């Protein structure tokens, strides 16, 4: 496998796939918040966080939930289709949420700093150098002592090990070209060295993608960190 060529093509191919997916299926995971949003909202409230960034918000299901829980919410995603759906949804419900097409790898949207960053199932899409970049960007947009809440697939997920291992714990799967998946493990958390770890814990849940797959279980790792000064 020519990895140089692969990584040249991967970002644009992956984006194309994601845009088509939102165009075709709309609310891919339904209109309920993701499985870890409730836990995150409780934690953010306990820690007095008010101003939340959802990094990789898709069509906004977590943003809508955090807004309903009383937080000031900003959502960013690379997908124009995702942000279009998110804006339409929040306008329909008359909610004040700021949505931007922006990359978690190079954040350009205007802001005054966040008390917390939430990100669910975004990190796994990136190779090591980009995961480091994403964490540096999250670190930069957080206020002093800000909280990172990240949930994503772990090495205990059923899909771990399927396909070609293109980087440590990252697989290119034959049925999803250019959609590699990185699986989190307690042993490899170097990307988070800008954060003091407050909690690292496993979590599992059932999910289905209407029109795409039947119900299946996912195994995640939840990471809660506090910005190091």
Q: Which of 10, 18, 90, 169 binds ligand SAM (CB under 6 A)?
A: 18
Shortest distance, position 79 Cβ to ligand SAM, whole Å: 4
Q: Does 121 bind ligand SAM (CB under 6 A)?
A: yes
Q: Which of 85, 104, 184, 223 binds ligand SAM (CB under 6 A)?
A: 104
Cβ within 8 Å of residue 141, ≥6 positions away: 53, 107, 111, 113, 114, 117
Whether residue 81 contacts residue 164, with contact meaning beta carbons closer than 8 Å, is answered with no
Q: Which residue has the tokens 């070209």?
A: 177
Structure tokens at 19: 């845009």
User: Which window, 92-100, 102-110, 163-171, 209-217, contacts ligand SAM (CB under 6 A)?
Assistant: 102-110
Is 162 buried (19+), middle (13-18) or exposed (0-12) by CB count in 10 A? Answer: middle
Within 183-222, the residues that bind ligand SAM by CB under 6 A are: none
Cα(123)–Cα(108) distance, rounded to whole angstroms?
A: 18
Shortest distance, position 229 Cβ to ligand SAM, whole Å: 26
Kindly determine how many residues on this chain lie close enough to bind ligand SAM according to the rule CB under 6 A.
Answer: 20
- Backbone φ and ψ for 139, nearest 5 degrees, come out as -60, -45
Q: Does 34 bind ligand SAM (CB under 6 A)?
A: yes
- Measured from the CB atom, the residue of 79 and 154 that comes closer to ligand SAM is 79
Cα(110)–Cα(108) distance, rounded to whole angstroms?
A: 7
- Measured from the CB atom, the residue of 49 and 122 that comes closer to ligand SAM is 122
Cα torsion angle, 51, 44, 101, 83, sign: negative
User: Residue 73, Cβ neighbours under 10 Å: how many?
Assistant: 27
User: Which window, 77-85, 181-189, 202-210, 215-223, contacts ligand SAM (CB under 6 A)?
Assistant: 77-85
151 sits in which H/E element:
strand 142-153
Q: Does 56 bind ligand SAM (CB under 6 A)?
A: yes
- Measured from the CB atom, the residue of 121 and 139 that comes closer to ligand SAM is 121
Residue with smallest beta-carbon separation from ligand SAM: 58
> Which residues here bind ligand SAM, judged by CB under 6 A?
18, 29, 34, 56-58, 61-62, 76-79, 82, 103-105, 120-122, 125
């Amino acid at each position: 496998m020519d990895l140089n060529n692969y990584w040249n093509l991967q970002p644009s191919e992956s984006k194309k796939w994601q845009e088509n997916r939102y165009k075709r299926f709309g609310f891919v995971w339904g209109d309920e918040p993701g499985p870890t949003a409730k836990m995150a909202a409780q934690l953010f409230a306990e820690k007095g966080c008010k101003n939340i960034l959802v990094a990789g918000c898709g069509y906004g299901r977590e943003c809508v939930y955090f807004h309903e829980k009383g937080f000031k919410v900003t959502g960013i995603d690379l997908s124009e289709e995702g942000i279009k759906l998110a804006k339409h949804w929040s306008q329909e419900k008359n909610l004040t949420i700021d949505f931007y097409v922006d990359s978690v790898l190079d954040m350009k949207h205007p802001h005054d700093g966040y008390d917390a960053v939430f990100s669910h199932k975004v990190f796994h899409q990136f190779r090591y150098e980009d995961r480091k970049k994403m964490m540096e960007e999250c670190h930069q947009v957080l206020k002093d002592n800000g909280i990172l809440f990240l949930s994503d697939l772990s090495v205990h997920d059923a899909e771990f090990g399927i396909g070609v291992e293109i980087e440590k714990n990252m697989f290119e799967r034959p049925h999803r070209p250019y959609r590699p998946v990185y699986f989190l493990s307690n042993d490899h958390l170097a990307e988070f060295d800008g954060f003091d770890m407050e909690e690292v814990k496993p979590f599992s849940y059932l999910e289905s993608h209407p029109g795409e797959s039947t119900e299946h279980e996912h195994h995640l790792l939840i990471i809660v960190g506090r910005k190091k000064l």
